[in-house]
Copies of this chain bind each other. A is one copy, B any other.
Amino acid sequence: MPNPDSPIPSVWTRPPKKAPALSREQIVAAAMKLLDTEGLEALSLRRLGVELGAAATAFYRHVANKDELIELVVNEVYGELRIDGEAPWRESVTVIAHSFRAAILRHPWFVSVIGEVGLAYLGPNVMGKTDQMLAVLERAGFALEDADLAMTAVLSFVVGHTTSEAAWLTTLARSGRSEQEWMDGLVPVAEQAAQPYPALRRLFELQRRSGAATREDSFAYGLELILDSLERRMR
């Protein structure tokens, strides 16, 4: 907001407006930060405008619509996956899986958005990581179709498991209660229900005291179920 009465407008060395002041990368970076710090429902174009000192409508010069913006941020998450193409295949896949899980937990909004975006949008990072993972499996001796099946199985499990984890963590955070408090409140829920849930009730009780298997253990367990079978089928 330059004051039009200012006496020095033509003397002023022009501010560096060579760069268009708003770039696609800037926008997705700001969106990512906003999503990570305040969650999905905090991401509105007007809010993003405040964050970047621009009007809400300015983004339409750089991005088709909000959906495309989200696709771009999702693609950015895929960029965080680490793939070690040199290690033996089982180790490679394990690293990918854990790194995917970590990335999702770092960006919990991801799971609220994956159902809409899916794998239909093929951003460069999505395609790149997929390609590398296929390559790892092929080098291990899988035929291309089998590599596809194996990869799909692993990634499906990773996304499914981590979806539960992330959803649980966000609702836990929203509730304000501690994890122990929540578990304690769970047992009465299963008791007072109209129908009895005997097995579930015992599970709640078990988890409440003997400190439940951690979520990471559960993740590692399921992953090994899949990898064990894959390894056996290869030999």
Which chain A residues have a beta carbon within 8 Å of chain B's beta carbons? 110-120, 122, 124, 127-128, 130-131, 134-135, 138, 144-145, 147-149, 152-153, 155-161, 163-164, 166-168, 170-172, 186, 189-190, 193-195, 197-200, 202-203, 206, 213, 218, 221-222, 224-226, 228-230, 232
Contact = CB atoms under 8 A, between A and B. Distances in A.
Contact of A200 (B130, B218, B224): B130
Q: Copy number in this complex? A: 2
A124 B195 contact: yes
Given A120-B171, A144-B199, A193-B124, A163 B222 contact: no
21 contacts: A112-B116, A114-B167, A118-B167, A118-B168, A118-B170, A120-B168, A122-B186, A122-B189, A124-B194, A127-B193, A131-B198, A134-B200, A144-B203, A148-B213, A153-B157, A158-B160, A163-B163, A222-B226, A225-B226, A225-B229, A226-B226
Given A156-B161, A197-B131, A218-B152, A115 B118 contact: no
Contacts of A230: 225
Contacts of A202: 144
B218 A149 contact: yes
B131 A200 contact: yes
Contacts of A155: 160
Contacts of A160: 155-161, 163
Contact of A144 (B127, B131, B167, B206): B206
Given A144-B202, A160-B159, A119 B152 contact: no
B206 A167 contact: no
B156 A115 contact: no
A193 B75 CA distance: 15
Contacts of A197: 127-128, 130-131
Contacts of A171: 118, 120
A183 to B, nearest CB: 12
Given A135-B199, A156-B160, A225-B229, A167 B218 contact: no
A93 to B, nearest CB: 13
Contacts of A170: 116, 118
A117 B161 contact: no
Closest 4 CB pairs of A and B: A118-B167, A160-B160, A153-B222, A111-B115
